[in-house]
Structure 1
Amino acid sequence: MLPEIAEVKYFSGKRPDEIYTSLDMSVNFTFTDLGISGNDQDTRLVTGLIKNANPSYEFFEENEDVEKDVIIHRFDFQSYGIDDEAYNIMYIACTGNNLVQGIFSCMYKDRKEWERAALEVIKTVSQYQGGR
């Protein structure tokens, strides 16, 4: 995603380290090295904190996947934007000793056609080396 577009879409001072988007910007993948060390248990703790901080979201499932000895803790939810509803999958993984957070998002109405592909991309977080 071009930096000037990222500034508008992610208007807070803290933007993801890596942002990948579709040409129409309706589908996004983000990856962020949280800059803290942790372990697999911490992924569950961070997940709980994120969920508790966002009570207006409608949460669906919570899962753990193991890819190349990396536990990826993920959950999906529906959020609400200015003009439409979004489907999101947020995930936390401990790669080495670093905690990495990622988010997949698309229009809620398109979630069925994107969910499987998103889960395949999320599995690759075990290879993430960080954007810092």
Structure 2
Amino acid sequence: MSERVDEKILDFINESEKREAKKDICKGPVKIGERYYEFEEKDFFDKKLKIWIPNDFEEMSEEARKFKYPSENRPEIIKCNEDGSIVITLNIIDSPLDEECVGELKDGMKMIIRKTNPSNVFYDDGIIEVNSKNIGFFEFKSSAIDDYIYNLMFFLEFEGKTLMGTFSCIHNECKEWRDVVFQIIRNIKENNKSKMS
């Protein structure tokens, strides 16, 4: 009996330590897995969009891009860690989008991905309001050659067009990254708008 109580206490302590370790990406280093990442707000699309990403993420090499995204319409921006196992992409799709249709777009994209690969496992989806903008998202697990991949896709209206972003990492690391990815999404800013205080 007391052994089980001890285990519960240990679990509680471990959980609170984990929560304590999850800090704000905008305020200093964040421990993810076994290492600390320093995030910085970077400008994209002629400085019209600001997104916080790890400061050591580099532009993916042309060779790796062609391998990972064989289709010619691969994302415009592909930032990744050293070995390319953690990737953030951003792409403007020349397709008009307005605020009210973000949910519809999210559902449509989810359906396409489900049809394209029925073995994908879908998790959460929804709409987050960020700076009075709707950002639609969904999460799913896909299989790669030798592992499973955690994917999160998100969509928002950007200058009347569709901005699509993705985050992916090895599936067994997604518990460590998931909270961070949502922080990234919640801190997306457009530069061309005057900020409301």
Normalising by structure 1, we get a TM-score of 0.89
Pairs aligned (count): 129
Q: Give identity over the alignment, percent.
A: 24
State the partner residue of 1:73.
Answer: 136
Given the superposition, is the C-alpha separation of residues 74 and 119 from structure 1 closer, same or farther in structure 2, using an over 3 Å criterion?
same
Helix, strand or coil for the counterpart of 2:124?
A: strand
* Cα distance in structure 1, aligned partners of 2:96 and 2:191: 15
**1:101 Cα deviation from its structure 2 partner:** 0.6
Gap regions ≥5 residues in structure 2:
1-59, 193-197
* Cα distance in structure 2, aligned partners of 1:19 and 1:40: 25
Helix, strand or coil for the counterpart of 1:99?
A: strand
Query: Does structure 2 retain, via aligned residues, the 8 Å contact 1:36–1:99?
Result: yes
* Cα distance in structure 1, aligned partners of 2:146 and 2:73: 23
Between Structure 1 and Structure 2, the one with more strand by share is 1
**1:128 Cα deviation from its structure 2 partner:** 7.7
The root-mean-square deviation of aligned C-alpha atoms, in Å, is 1.7
Gap regions ≥5 residues in structure 1:
none
Query: Does structure 2 retain, via aligned residues, the 8 Å contact 1:70–1:126?
Result: no
CA offset digits 1:64-102 (Å, max 9, x no partner): 111112110111111111111001111111123121111
Query: Does structure 2 retain, via aligned residues, the 8 Å contact 1:60–1:75?
Result: yes
State the partner residue of 1:123.
Answer: 186
Given the superposition, is the C-alpha separation of residues 110 and 70 from structure 1 closer, same or farther in structure 2, using an over 3 Å criterion?
same
* Cα distance in structure 2, aligned partners of 1:128 and 1:14: 26
Q: Does 1:5 find its partner at 2:59?
A: no
Normalising by structure 2, we get a TM-score of 0.61
| 1:32-47 matched pairs, under 5 angstroms | 32-47=91-106
Tell which has more relative contact order, 1 or 2 (C-alpha 8 A, sep 6+): 1
Equivalent residue for 1:88, pick from 151, 158, 173: 151
